[in-house]
Amino acid sequence: MSNSSWPAAWPVRLGDLAITLPLVRSDDGFQIYAFDSMGRSAWNIAAAAALAERLKPFAFDIVLTAESKSIALAEELARLLGQQEYVVLRKSRKLYMIDPLVMDVKSVTTAAPQKFYLGREQQDLLRGKRVCVLDDVISTGGTLQAIYALAKALPFTVAVNACVLTEETHWEAYDGVPVVRLDHIPLPATSAYCE
């Protein structure tokens, strides 16, 4: 089917909250259902509550996420879990980072290759721990690939992967580690719509 046959919006559930995601198209015709939770407190609160419930069977010490859309979600999830800290991989090197580790990452929503930076203090929070890797959307697995390379370098153990949505692939696990998700969206850029 042609790209134009996709619905203009896609419904998803963030726990008890139902929302719709708009279909957005780039100038070259690439399409996605846009999930942008930045600045949406209700979305992050609902998603974190639902994820906290689904993560109960998993034992982990700390939440790790990547800049920037998942930061508010990580903050709320850590609060609900009673965790005092969480770790954010940064997309640029900051002056206050001591001896940062640098990781390459490729995202479906960003054309150019990116880098993640993690200073020594955040490295120490992760080293030897059981970690919940949190993302807003798991699509190609590019972010997870970078984080798993980091896990081997420090090292730490990825106990569980958590996300609000999976995209295109119905991820059940990544590298043998379970993926906990709230809902799923298609990737119109690469798949045909069937009613």
Distance in angstroms between the alpha carbons of the first and the last residue of the chain: 11
Q: What domains sit in the chain, N to C, each tagged with a CATH number?
A: 41-184 (3.40.50.2020)
Torsion over CA of 154, 77, 143 and 61, rounded to 10 degrees?
20
- Write down the residue that tokens 């639902």 correspond to: 50
* CB proximity list for 13: less than 8 A, separation 6 or greater: 19, 182, 183
By three-state DSSP, how is residue 44 classified?
A: helix
With bands split at pLDDT 50, 70 and 90, how would you rate the model's confidence at 30? Answer: confident
- Write down the residue that tokens 């295109």 correspond to: 168
Mean pLDDT, all residues of the chain: 90
With bands split at pLDDT 50, 70 and 90, how would you rate the model's confidence at 1? Answer: very low
Q: What is the pLDDT of residue 3?
A: 46
Tokens of 17: 């909250």
Q: Is the pLDDT of residue 192 over 60?
A: no
By three-state DSSP, how is residue 169 classified?
A: coil
With bands split at pLDDT 50, 70 and 90, how would you rate the model's confidence at 122? Answer: very high
Q: Is the pLDDT of residue 158 over 70?
A: yes
* CB proximity list for 115: less than 8 A, separation 6 or greater: 91, 102, 103, 104, 105
Note if the pTM is more than 0.75: yes
With bands split at pLDDT 50, 70 and 90, how would you rate the model's confidence at 74? Answer: very high
Q: Is the pLDDT of residue 70 over 90?
A: yes
